[in-house]
Amino acid sequence: PPTSRATRTKPNILITGTPGTGKTTLAGLVTSALPDYQLLEVGKVVAQRNLHCGRDESFDTLILDEDLLLDEMELILGGDDAGGRGVEPQHAARGGSGGWVVDYHSSDLFPERWFDMVIVLRSSTSILNDRLVMRSYSEKKISENIMCEIMDVSFNEALEAYHPSRVLSLPSDSIEEMSDNVSRVVEWAEAWEQSMST
């Protein structure tokens, strides 16, 4: 049976937000600060394991095969039978016990039971624009992403998919905010572990 949050000893944390808001940076810093936690960069898994059905040329992005991705992630995050195909050994050993820091620009495709906390990063549009220009995104891709940020797409998506008490929106314009966010997530995770062990 799928593992529920009640059987986890460590929380699973989803970090979401518009591309460029700092998800991968935050997820990396959090996993460094919490040595027993592991980073799962969903975009990387999709590309490396071919969990897509080709490329959308006009947006220069891979077209996600959602079913393949969810099956793969269930083995890593949710299941207790992760010894099988394609799962890296360190992932297999960890199946279902929690401690995953997952980084993805979307959140509503995942089962709610996988995550104990959902962080939505927010950046102001001029800062986000500069970051995406630095990344050499096309103008079309930049304006699409800026529009999503202005319309709070990531935040609304998270609020619809998860209980609002698990969704936390955090500003990510500056290094100071990034560092506050790391502390906040780390403290929250440690408190979660404490509450589960008592």
Kindly list the residues in this chain that would bind ligand ADP in the complex (CB under 6 A).
Answer: 17, 19-25, 131, 172-175, 177-178
Among 1, 4, 14, 24, binds Mn ion (CB under 5 A): 24
Least Å from the CB of residue 149 to ligand ADP: 11
Rounded Cα distance, 169 and 121, in Å = 6
Nearest-approach distance from CB 177 to ligand ADP, in angstroms:
5
**C-alpha span between 34 and 196 (Å, rounded):** 17
Which of Mn ion, ligand ADP, none has residue 131 at its interface (CB below 5 to 8 Å by kind)? ligand ADP
| Residue with smaller CB distance to ligand ADP, 148 or 178 | 178
108 binds, among ligand ADP, Mn ion, none (CB under 5 to 8 A by kind): none
Residues 6+ apart with CB under 8 A from 14: 102, 104, 107, 110, 114, 115, 117, 118, 119
- Helix or strand (DSSP H, E) at 154: helix 153-161
